[in-house]
Amino acid sequence: MTASHPNIGFVGLGWPGERHAEGVIACSLGTVHSACDLNQERLDNFVTAYRPARAFTDFKEMLADPALDAVVICLPNALHYPFSLQALQAGKHVLCEKPPTMNAAQMRTLHEEAQKRGLVYYFGRQMRFSPGMQAAKKLVKERRLGEIYFAETMWVRSRGTPDGVDGWFTERSKAGGGAIIDLGVHAIDAAWYLMGTPQPRAISAQTYQKFPQLVKNNVFDVEDNGYGMIRFENGATLLFKVSWAANLQDDIPLSSKRGRSLLSTLIYGPKGSIKIIDAFEADTDNFPSPIVFFEEQQGVPAKVDVAVQDERGAALRAYEFREQATNFLRCIRGEEAAVNSSSQAVQLMEMLDAIYRSSQLGREVAL
Ligand SMILES: NC(=O)c1ccc[n+]([C@@H]2O[C@H](COP(=O)([O-])OP(=O)(O)OC[C@H]3O[C@@H](n4cnc5c(N)ncnc54)[C@H](O)[C@@H]3O)[C@@H](O)[C@H]2O)c1
């Protein structure tokens, strides 16, 4: 039976776990019911801030609660698959942070498990819900660009290699990869979603590890840069640039924690082009708008103002997490289809797998 006001349990209570809890509270469609983390301090802080009825350090104990309807998983990447699978097998709906899994084979298993059990599996990609993205999607739907044939997307940082608790981000066995699986998943998904999620056909990519001196952890066996091109079945192509660390120049805004940082996506059609900018990590608010639209007028591209709710910084993420929680909870209630569906998570992981395969082989690979 589908709960009308689902009880949600949260596992992994760092920055994303807290944002998801705030999203659930803000949308008023579900309850922050339980919380789980091995780290007692994080667990205590979460309980104080969001008042779940139950707190655990053992995920299996949390899952055994019959009152629990769904879990939100914000753990190191290697735990996404086993924890999502256990939750589905226990009859709980799942929202799991990005990357959905470590590879496409794992994601296919989760997709099938969720389908078989009639449960929602939902991957975390809150930026699909930003006001800039929603405004861009609307323009694309109104065919203001015509057929999108090309896109460029990037998430680049100049000095932003992450660590996480115990430095897991830089270890392949715990993270599945480096900058590509961490930031590339956001940048590639932003473009792919705007392009209408076309079927990927071939990928040529190269990853690099060039900044080992920035890593405190003893293990650093993943990439800190990755670049490449994806060809889609409909003939469209996508160029991507991703870096945790690179000697970026001053067209990329300064970021107090990351050196320089920018997530931006540009799509082109014969009638116009759209750029969406996410400067969440940048120190400046000095961007004219989160969306820039150029449309062909009298034979030349001209800038057109787009009405958009202009959220910045923490307010932007709060908006996105609330909208994402709304869609997830309405899916559980059977009222809406998943924007971040398990079938798209499979395709996304297939693209990430192919990026790593292409880099290893040194040539284009087919999907
Ligand atoms: N959507 C976003 O914008 C966004 C931002 C940051 C991180 N993330 C994703 O969220 C995930 C977590 O990232 P993070 O930065 O919070 O990492 P983190 O290392 O800061 O936090 C992970 C948490 O999981 C807990 N944990 C580890 N193993 C556990 C277990 N077996 N049982 C219970 N708790 C356990 C740790 O104690 C820690 O509190 C990653 O997959 C990351 O890619 C997404």
Q: Which atom of ligand 1 is nearest to the CA of 42?
A: 39
Q: Comparing C-alpha atoms, which of 200, 252, 251, 196 is closest to residue 230?
A: 200
The radius of gyration computed from the CA coordinates of the chain, to the nearest angstrom, equals 20
Query: Taking the domains of the chain in order of start, what are their residue ranges?
Result: 7-126, 127-317+349-366
pLDDT at 1 over 70: no
d(CA 268, CA 151): 6
Nearest atom (ligand 1) to Cα of 13: 39
User: pLDDT tens across 199-210, in order?
Assistant: 999 999 999 999
Reported confidence tier of residue 236, pLDDT bands at 50, 70, 90: very high
Quick check: 104 pLDDT over 80? yes
Q: Which class in CATH covers the domain with range 7-126?
A: alpha beta
The residue count of the chain comes to 367
Q: Is 117 in the pocket of ligand 1 (CB under 6 A)?
A: no
Torsion of CA 364, 191, 352, 97, to 10 degrees: 180
**pLDDT band for position 280 (cuts 50, 70, 90):** confident
Of 246, 236, 11, 231, nearest in space to 124 by CA: 11
Number of other CB atoms surrounding residue 21 within 10 Å = 24
Ligand 1 atom 40, closest CA = 76
| 251 Cβ contact list (under 8 Å, min separation 6) | none
What's the pLDDT tens digit per position in 26-62?
999 999 999 999 999 999 999 999 999 999 999 999 9
- Phi, psi at residue 296, to the nearest 5°? -70, 120
Show Cβ contacts of residue 29 under 8 Å, excluding neighbours closer than 6 positions. Answer: 5, 6, 325, 326, 329, 330, 333
Ramachandran angles phi, psi of 342, nearest 5°: -65, -30
Q: Is 86 in the pocket of ligand 1 (CB under 6 A)?
A: no
Average pLDDT rounded to a whole number, residues 131-157? 98
Residue 42 Ramachandran class (φ > 0 left, ψ -120 to 50 alpha, else beta):
alpha
pLDDT in the model for residue 284: 77
CA of 14 from ligand 1 middle (Å) equals 6
pLDDT digits (tens, 9 = 90+) for 12-23: 999 999 999 999
pTM over 0.95: yes
Q: Indicate if the pLDDT at residue 63 is higher than 60.
A: yes
- Which atom in ligand 1 lies closest to the alpha carbon of residue 126? 1
> Residue range 148-172: average pLDDT?
95
b/e per residue 131-169 (b: at least 16 CB within 10 A): bbbbbbbebbeeebbeebbbbbbbbbbbbbbbebeebbb
Q: pLDDT value at position 286?
A: 77
Asked if 95 contacts 124 with a C-beta cutoff of 8 angstroms, the reply is yes
CA distance 319 to 32: 18
Residue 2 pLDDT exceeds 70: no
Smallest Cα–Cα separation from 75: which of 218, 185, 174, 220? 174
User: Average model confidence (pLDDT) for the chain?
Assistant: 96
- CATH number for the domain running over 127-317+349-366: 3.30.360.10
**CA distances, 345 to each of 104, 158, 359, 365 (Å):** 8, 28, 21, 20
